A = this chain, B = another copy of it.
Amino acid sequence: MTTPQDRQDRQDRQDRQDGHDPRRPGGSPARTERQRARRRRILDAATRLASAGGFDAVQMREVAETSGVALGTLYRYFPSKIHLLVAVLHDQLEQLRANLRDRPLPEPDPAARLAHTLRRAFRAHQRDPRLAEAMMRALLFADRSAREEVRGVFRLTTAILLDASNLAGEEIPGRLSTVRVIQHTWHAALVSWLSGQITLEQAQADIETVCRLLTVPAPPD
C-alpha cells in the first residue's frame, strides 16, 4: 500500500533534484580533469550500449562497469537513467550542430532549408535507430525531475532549427511557437516511426507538412 506520505516523500526528493544537487559534480562543470574524463567515459559507454540494444540495453550496472566507475558514482554524475540518456542526446546534438555549422544550405526558402536539415537528421537516426529510440524515449518520458536537462535539449534543438531556417532576426520572436511545434512534430514523428506506428514515408510526410507552417504568417503571439 502506497500511502500519501510516501508520495509526498517522493515529491520532496524530486524537488530537491530539480535545481542543483550540490553533491553532484555534474551540476557545476567538472573541477578536475579526471572528472571530465569520467563523465566522458560514462556518456560513451551509455551511447555504445544504447546503440547496440536500445533503451532496455542501457542498464545502469553495465554502464557503470563498462565505464569503470562505481554504481554510486554513476548516480552522482547522472541522478537517473533518464538524466543519463537525455545527456547522451544533448551530447549528440552538440556534435550534430558542429557538423552543420560550416555548411550553408543551398535552398533559398526557409521552409525548404528546414525540411532539408530535418531530413538529414532523420537519416542519421535511421542509421542508428536503437540509439535514437533510447534517447527519444528518455526525452519524452522525462518528468519534472529532469526539467532542466530537457530544457537544455530543447534550447539546443531550437538553436539548430533557427540556424537552419536562418530567419531574419526580427522574425524570430513571433516564431517561437512555430519552432516548438516543429520540434514536437520532429520528436513525435521519430518515436512513432521507431515504435512501428507509422511508416518512414508517413514520418517524412509529417515533417514536410509541419515545415509548411513557416509559410503561413507568424501569429501575433
Contact = CB atoms under 8 A, between A and B. Distances in A.
B150 A143 contact: no
Contacts of A104: none
A79 to B, nearest CB: 16
A219 B213 contact: no
Interface stretch (A34-42, A88-96, A160-168, A176-184): A176-184
Contact of A189 (B1, B178, B184): B184
A162 to B, nearest CB: 16
Contact of A191 (B62, B140, B209): B140
Given A137-B143, A141-B141, A195-B144, A210 B213 contact: yes
A192 B202 contact: no
A6 to B, nearest CB: 9
Contacts of A213: 209-210, 212-213, 216
B219 A209 contact: yes
Contacts of A216: 212-213, 215-216
A213 B196 CA distance: 25
A48 interface: no
A206 interface: yes
Interface of A: 1-2, 7, 10, 53, 55-57, 59, 62, 65, 133, 137, 140-144, 147, 150-151, 154, 177-178, 180-181, 184-185, 187-189, 191-192, 195-198, 202, 205-206, 208-210, 212-213, 215-216, 219, 221
